[in-house]
Chains A and B, each alone.
Chain A
Amino acid sequence: DAGVIQSPRHEVTEMGQEVTLRCKPISGHNSLFWYRQTMMRGLELLIYFNNNVPIDDSGMPEDRFSAKMPNASFSTLKIQPSEPRDSAVYFCASSSGGEVGQGYTFGSGTRLTVV
């Protein structure tokens, strides 16, 4: 298995532009998580999907952020419009729903820089 795959690895964009981050979870994992990592706040859970359904999006900072999971093998996190304070590393992680206590498998993250 190739693990959790995120793209792009790096993204540099100008303030006000739309940004879309992509994630392919591990096949068979039915729980998917988007995290944001910054120096100031550490790792923050943005949104959690179970069986493609958003269960908890209370961590999504603003309406500018949206996430979708149209099928079991793909999820996107969109920021529109982007702002410099959105600069961070965004991680996607997946787990088997009944085994969340086994630990997540993380992707390699997308480093987003908004200038």
Chain B
Amino acid sequence: AQTVTQSQPEMSVQEAETVTLSCTYDTSESDYYLFWYKQPPSRQMILVIRQEAYKQQNATENRFSVNFQKAAKSFSLKISDSQLGDAAMYFCAYYISGTYKYIFGTGTRLKVLA
């Protein structure tokens, strides 16, 4: 079965500091995509960053970067220079190429302390 595990229900980070959210997944597929979505209190699910499994280079979007370890099936999100607006639920998701279904983790609530 394909699963996505986020083992940290909640994390806190001081403003301007760096935090890493962990995600592991389980699949036997070779062609897939991984995502991090942010859900702020407004409820809107916002795509933060995306990684294709065939790419070895870790994706980066401004202050957000991932550490993709394919053999370990690990996909962590690093947020640098954390800002108050980063406070949200963060969901890791997995998508198998050629299908339509995303598998979401249970989420990590990130608190940013001023």
- B33 contact from A101, A109, A111, Cβ within 8 A: A101
Q: Which residues of B contact A101 (CB under 8 A)?
A: 33, 52, 95, 97
User: B105 to chain A: closest CB distance in Å?
Assistant: 7
Contact flags A74-115 to B (C-beta < 8 A → 1, else 0): 000000000000000101010000001111111111010000
Binds A, one of B17-25, B38-46, B65-73, B74-82: B38-46
Given the interface pairs A42-B107, A100-B95, the reply to whether A106 lies near B44 with Cβ below 8 Å is: yes
Contacts A31-B100, A50-B100, A89-B43; A102 near B91 (Cβ below 8 A): no
Contact-size category for A: 20 to 34
Which residue in chain B gives the minimum CB-CB distance to A95?
B100
Asked whether B47 lies within 8 Å of A42 as measured between CB atoms, the reply is: no
**Chain B residues within 8 Å of chain A by Cβ, number:** 22
| Contact surface of A with B, Cβ cutoff 8 Å | 31, 33, 42-43, 45, 48, 50, 55-56, 89, 91, 93, 100-109, 111
B residues with a Cβ closer than 8 A to A are: 33, 35, 37, 42-47, 50, 52, 91, 95, 97, 99-102, 104-107
What are 16 A-to-B residue pairs whose CB atoms are below 8 Å?
A42-B105, A42-B107, A43-B104, A50-B100, A55-B100, A56-B100, A56-B101, A89-B43, A91-B45, A93-B45, A100-B100, A101-B52, A101-B97, A105-B47, A106-B44, A111-B43
